[in-house]
Structure 1
Amino acid sequence: MLPGSASHGLVSSFSPGGDQFALSGPDGRIRVYETGSGRLLVSLGGPSDTAKANGGPAANGHLVENNTCIAWVVTKEKGKKKQAVGVRGVAVGTAAGDVKFYDVQLGELKWKAVDAVQGGVKSLVFSAGQGVILATGANCSLVSVGVEDGAVKKRFEASKYPITAIALAPDGKHVFGGGSTMQLWDVTSEERAAKYTGHPTEVRAVAFVPGQPHAISAATGERHVAVWDVPPAKKSKKQHPAVTTLSLEEPAVAVDAACVSEGETFSVGAVSEGGEAYVWVCHRDSAGGGDADGGDATGGSRASLACQLVMRLRVGDGSAAKGSHAGKDEEILGVQFQPGPSGPSLLVARGTSAKPAFETLAVPLEAGADVVVSLRPVGGVLLQANQKGAAAAASAPGAQDKSVQPRPKQAPTSGASVTLLGTDNIGAPVLSRAAAEAAAASGRKRGAEDDEDMSTAAAAGVEEEEVPDLPEGDVPLGERVAALEARSLGTAGAAAEEAGTSGAAGAASSMPGGSAKADSLSVLLTQAIRSNDRALLERCLATSSTTVIANTVARIVPMDAALFLKAAVDRLVSKPNRAVQLVPWIRAVLHHHTAYLMSAPGVQPALTSLFQAIDSRVRLHDPLLRLYGRLGLVLHHTRTDKAAAGPERPGPEVEYVDDLEEEPAAEDPFAPAPVSDDEDDEDDEDESGSEDEDGEAKFDAMLADGPQGSDDDEDLDSFLDDDD
């Protein structure tokens, strides 16, 4: 089935008589239902059986084995009084390569063949004539396992490639199947009888057509079912092509066939990945005409087939578009043709793994005006009592309703009523008791404002109610529980009551928009995963606290953790910019649920996508580092060149220019120092002063002598001349 759908990871099989239906889910349990009443007969397997086989304790579902295929086994054994006693059981193949056999009547595990098929079991068939279970898988062999004790009797290397699906011929001697190339083997002689072209991808389902020389097969990713001549009309070493192909909108996951008239007409049924069933009627055309609505027919020595689609089954309203509401989680789980005097009928299993329903439909021999048949969902949700009118709304015209579902009835209780409705009302708000009481109280308050007299009478009537046996000061248990619920919801309900808002608005306001605690967030996350609610899942992913994320992931079941890991990885691959938000969640899942993820092969594609996304990012780390280093080197050289050139200094404001053309001679350090002008003036003054003193002395001498003789006159004349 498609990832995320209700049937994803489910393995189912009808009993040969169609009275029982075995269904295995991701939890490793095999639930057997009675198709007549729809009740659960027995639940087989699970962690307890795994613990017994592996010798370890079963804790929180971490030791659950992944079941890959189921085959019904009906044998007869001798009882205590040597009487033949019928024993009915189911053989289950696991991804670890083990084959287990459960007794449905006793509800216990009879034996377990450990590692019967190395690499994992892909397909099982029961051979009543040989009293063995034929298993095949990745080891490319057909392994015969005894029904009584589970011992491996023989191995037949049938192919060079893994065999993914097989079917036992009505004669009990031939097996038809393959991995991609289809082959026909003779089990008794352990030889290949014929080889066919097969499919380009892995074969998923194979079935023989009773009373007809044909077999049908479907492969992964192919939107058609191939019809083969088995055994072929002409023996040849070349590969034989398919006789015809039957087209459908989505790849098939299960096929079945029934004979309408031997040698002339037969019916083919298939269940698609989308949870729909298709039914074709094929007629042998002796004139060699092509088929209608069924694909292309190829000629051969035998007459060609003319096939026509006569019925298409789906769950839900036929007039609604596909995926019209997000709450759709019911699909067709399996189909099986039941022989009848007027032709085969179709037994359909629909619903979910938790609550399947069964019904039988007549198969038309020709296509009518409308081949689409819509089946009403099984349903089952809890809504408010005032939502009952929406549930009683009729389906859209044109949809054919094949199931009878009783009209929902309201439980006669004195308190708040609860109504059980179908999936037509999915999306309506589901209120807790505290929120419902708050809404009811607000409605009473509005009524009291309109009619004061009625409000007074109602208040008086409420005040008169007393509990006679209640001790003084104690609070009734109901009021205490309601107070605790109101406290957990916060004060938003009281505010909505005072504002007079409606019940739905009060419920919406009572849900906090901020960060939630781990216990409440784990409940929301589980609900979002199981209902495939994208909006609720995005609200949970908005939490960024690592502590809350770790505690939330630790509280959820490993199977839900695997589904959550797939959803988170898909978001990371599609939008890598959300890595900051998604990586803490993915890391917490890998940390807390490592044991389960390692043993669950269905998680391998998600882990591969995660590894590729991380590897693509890490691969760019080294080139980016080299580019970063080169850019840093260029910047470093640029800064070094600028530092060597130095900073530019401002020039002088005034510049003196010398007019001398010749350079002055160099000074001699040993030359005497030149005399300055000030020193010359001082010398002149000293000389003049000394001369004045000499003249004064001569004049004084002349006065002392008086005018005697001519010598004195001469001295006076000479003195005057000198003075001049």
Structure 2
Amino acid sequence: MRNINTWLLVAMASDVDARGLMFPCAFSSKRPDFLALSSPDGRIRVWDSHSGSLRHEYVPSAHLSASCTCLAWGPNRVDKEGPQRKKRKSEAAVSTEQPDLLAIGTAVGSILLYSTVKGELQSRLDGGHDSRVNCIRWHQDGTYLYSCADDKHIVEWETQTGKVKCKWKGDKGSVSCICTSPDGKMLLTAGRTIKLWDLETKNMYRQFTGHSSAVSVLMFATVQPSSESHPFDGITGLYFLSGATDDRLLSVWQVRADGKDRNAVLSFTLHDEPAYVDIALSESKDEPVKLAVVCRNGQLHLFEHILNGFCRKPLAPNSTIQIATSGKDEQSVAVPVPILAAAFCPDGQSLMLVYGSTLHPIIESLALNTNEKHICLVRDIQKSVTLLTEQAVTKIRTPIVPSGTKVLVPGVPGHSAAIKPLTTDKGKRSDKRKTDTEKELSIEERLCAIDLDVMKVKSKGLPKTDSHAVLLVQGLESNDSDILNKVLQTKKDGPIKNTVSRLPVHAVIPLLHELTKRMLGHPNSALLMVRWLKAVLTLHSSYLSTLPDLIPQLGMLYQLMESRVKTLQKLTRLHGKLYLLIAQVSSSEKMQNMGDASQTAKLVYEEESSSEEGSEDMVADESDENWEEEEEEEKEYVEQSDEPDMSEQQVNGDSDMNSDSEEE
């Protein structure tokens, strides 16, 4: 059981180290009494820093498609508390300041204002951005709110009306981070270059070199009182720091009146990319600046330094803090626990640490000590987190059934669990409870008993259409070509439409990229991908029309469709010419086949006129001498005969008359 718990803890720690630090979190302003944390499941939870209990939990209506990208607490509001009965003159109302509004930036460009006092969403700010919101900062008086996004713009909001007061372009590219000055008269913005703006006129006062990658950390390091006539009079001595992604340095910049401030004057070295930074401002030149930096690897670095100008050598941390579990037994292994965030308390002598999992973080107050170079805190996560794993495991009992009974359990095909047969020995009934507890399987043995036969699942082929969408999403996320080939080989329009209609919104763009890649391949594959492409563009057209950067994302698909449409006219002409040639060839073959037919007549009909003409022709063919002799003989014979029929018989031929006379 100890090994299983250690294995689960290692998995939890690795998961948080890989992904947990990527989710935004923020302490309440002025006093770190509350912690707002966006968890991987899309929920936003507000924890009490002192008791560690959950105070509020908010689930946005579109928390899956419009996930939280940044958090910012508003200034504390004055809340008057007093007895409910009618107050006496001697009684005075007690006023306390408590944090209330929490600004939530989303991936679709909207900003949500959540009230922790009422426990509900107060307002929604729309119309300022049309892409991912990267950073939100409140004005000191709480009447204005500033935000930046991937659309290159900075927006100033009126929190009372929820409308845009001012909007201007902040950079040539995406604006990743902003910060307001302590006096509320200046604004720092950064994409890759850092700019300082006058909030009254919205004019850029100074531009700094910046970083080679997107800036993720930006905040003022000193409080510099400015002149009442102009906020930039006597600005020399104002410092601010910045950090970027994939960078292990925090750069410190000085704003100077002479304009020679393009390069950083100081840098702090880190072991990894900064994830969360908190700073205790110095109100005088002789007071050091305290800096707490939480890196991606889960370690905390503490810095103390007096900002007094240029420093060539990068400064190393004064102290490094990390947390690990206790390895009491020989079998157990000490596992590092990642630190999620850290904030200075108002007294400046203590620090608030957040570590563990994002689903159930542990908040602890720690006394600030920078004398020790390396500090390792040993904490027992199993006792701190209220996840009763051992108690839940001991309540599980394996069902006891006869050996001949067939048990149907839910799960995937091939799943089989160890089932104890029913004992029929009557003599062992008294020791039945004892043997059951002794032979009860542990979690490790039960996990080993699970049988997932992958070949049996594959042999049964793909499931029905309602699960094709699940397989398609898994194939797109894991980039598994086998799963994608099996799903995308569907040729019927009905299953294709059902699969695409059940597809989640976040998988539409990856599916279009996959279809575009396959259309560039074999022509047979392109013919099949056109059906999928038609279904996606038809069923998800409303979602695609809301994407601001659709053209650069689908640029290759547009070019592919345009190139194929251009050749359509030429292909049509070629098709017509080929059709004419084929028709002519087929017609010539038919004419040749008709000429080979037999011309012999099976029946000939002749009229009387034709027979007489034939007889005359036959007589005319004879020689002239025979014709004259026959003519004289006919004349003599006609004169002798009395009947006209005899002459006809003679004309027809003498051979017939002779034959008749001989017969008589």
Both structures adopt the same fold (TM-score exceeding 0.5): yes
Asked whether 1:562 is paired with 2:573, we answer no
Q: SS at 1:106's partner residue?
A: coil
Asked whether 1:12 is paired with 2:25, we answer yes
Q: Radius of gyration: which is bigger?
A: 1
- The 1:630–1:311 alpha-carbon spacing in structure 2 relative to 1, beyond 3 Å, is farther
By how many angstroms is 1:516 displaced?
Answer: 1.2
Match of residue 223, structure 1, among 237, 243, 246:
246
- Alpha-carbon distance in 2 for matches of 1:26, 1:568: 23
- Corresponding residue of 1:86: 97
When the two structures are superposed, what TM-score results if normalisation uses the length of structure 2? 0.56
By how many angstroms is 1:72 displaced?
Answer: 0.1
- Alpha-carbon distance in 2 for matches of 1:522, 1:405: 34
Code of the aligned partner of 1:145? E
- The 1:511–1:21 alpha-carbon spacing in structure 2 relative to 1, beyond 3 Å, is farther
Q: Does the Cα contact within 8 Å between 1:225 and 1:245 map onto a contact in 2?
A: no
Asked whether 1:517 is paired with 2:464, we answer yes
Q: How does 1:341-420 map to 2 (within 5 A)?
A: 345=351, 347-348=353-354, 351=357, 408-409=390-391, 411-413=393-395, 415-416=397-398
- Corresponding residue of 1:75: 76
Which whole-Å deviations, capped at 9, do the CAs of 1:683-707 have from their partners, x for residues lacking one? xxxxxxxxxxxxxxxxxxxxxxxxx
Q: Does the Cα contact within 8 Å between 2:155 and 2:164 map onto a contact in 1?
A: no
- Corresponding residue of 1:242: 264
- The 1:244–1:434 alpha-carbon spacing in structure 2 relative to 1, beyond 3 Å, is closer
Which whole-Å deviations, capped at 9, do the CAs of 1:98-118 have from their partners, x for residues lacking one? 544221122123344443568
- Corresponding residue of 2:611: none
Code of the aligned partner of 1:308? A
- Alpha-carbon distance in 1 for matches of 2:257, 2:532: 60
Q: How does 1:150-549 map to 2 (within 5 A)?
A: 150=161, 155=166, 159=170, 163-187=175-199, 192-199=204-211, 203-209=215-221, 214-219=239-244, 222-224=245-247, 227-233=250-256, 235-236=258-259, 240-243=262-265, 255-257=277-279, 266-267=290-291, 269=293, 276-277=297-298, 279-280=300-301, 302-308=310-316, 334-339=340-345, 345=351, 347-348=353-354, 351=357, 408-409=390-391, 411-413=393-395, 415-416=397-398, 432=410, 439-441=417-419, 444=421, 457=425, 504-505=450-451, 511=457, 513-520=460-467, 528=474, 538=484, 541=487, 544=490, 546-549=493-496
- Corresponding residue of 1:115: 127
Which whole-Å deviations, capped at 9, do the CAs of 1:519-550 have from their partners, x for residues lacking one? 45566667x48996959965983673654454
Q: SS at 2:505's partner residue?
A: helix
By how many angstroms is 1:214 displaced?
Answer: 3.8
Which whole-Å deviations, capped at 9, do the CAs of 1:237-279 have from their partners, x for residues lacking one? x66223356688987665544579975564453655xxx4565
Q: SS at 1:619's partner residue?
A: helix
- The 1:263–1:277 alpha-carbon spacing in structure 2 relative to 1, beyond 3 Å, is farther
Which whole-Å deviations, capped at 9, do the CAs of 1:118-140 have from their partners, x for residues lacking one? 87755322233465433455584
- The 1:616–1:229 alpha-carbon spacing in structure 2 relative to 1, beyond 3 Å, is same
By how many angstroms is 1:42 displaced?
Answer: 2.0
- Alpha-carbon distance in 2 for matches of 1:10, 1:540: 35
- The 1:135–1:340 alpha-carbon spacing in structure 2 relative to 1, beyond 3 Å, is closer
- The 1:459–1:150 alpha-carbon spacing in structure 2 relative to 1, beyond 3 Å, is farther
Q: SS at 2:127's partner residue?
A: coil
- Corresponding residue of 1:619: 563
- Alpha-carbon distance in 2 for matches of 1:308, 1:334: 21
Q: Does the Cα contact within 8 Å between 2:140 and 2:182 map onto a contact in 1?
A: no
Which whole-Å deviations, capped at 9, do the CAs of 1:192-211 have from their partners, x for residues lacking one? 44321224665444223368
Code of the aligned partner of 1:303? C
- Alpha-carbon distance in 1 for matches of 2:426, 2:551: 63
- Alpha-carbon distance in 1 for matches of 2:176, 2:301: 25
Give the gaps of 5 or more residues in structure 2: 1-17, 83-92, 224-236, 326-335, 400-408, 430-447, 593-620, 627-664
Q: SS at 2:45's partner residue?
A: strand
- The 1:570–1:351 alpha-carbon spacing in structure 2 relative to 1, beyond 3 Å, is farther
- The 1:264–1:190 alpha-carbon spacing in structure 2 relative to 1, beyond 3 Å, is same
- Alpha-carbon distance in 2 for matches of 1:315, 1:592: 50
Q: How does 1:15-26 map to 2 (within 5 A)?
A: 15-16=28-29, 17-24=31-38
Code of the aligned partner of 2:566? D
**How much is the aligned-residue C-alpha RMSD, in angstroms?**
6.3
- Alpha-carbon distance in 1 for matches of 2:346, 2:154: 37
- Alpha-carbon distance in 1 for matches of 2:135, 2:46: 19
- Alpha-carbon distance in 1 for matches of 2:532, 2:323: 36
- The 1:349–1:534 alpha-carbon spacing in structure 2 relative to 1, beyond 3 Å, is farther
Code of the aligned partner of 1:241? N
Q: Does the Cα contact within 8 Å between 2:342 and 2:352 map onto a contact in 1?
A: yes
Code of the aligned partner of 1:541? V
Code of the aligned partner of 1:515? L
When the two structures are superposed, what TM-score results if normalisation uses the length of structure 1? 0.52
Instruction: Percent identity, please.
Output: 19
Match of residue 124, structure 1, among 136, 153, 157:
136
Q: SS at 1:304's partner residue?
A: coil
By how many angstroms is 1:63 displaced?
Answer: 11
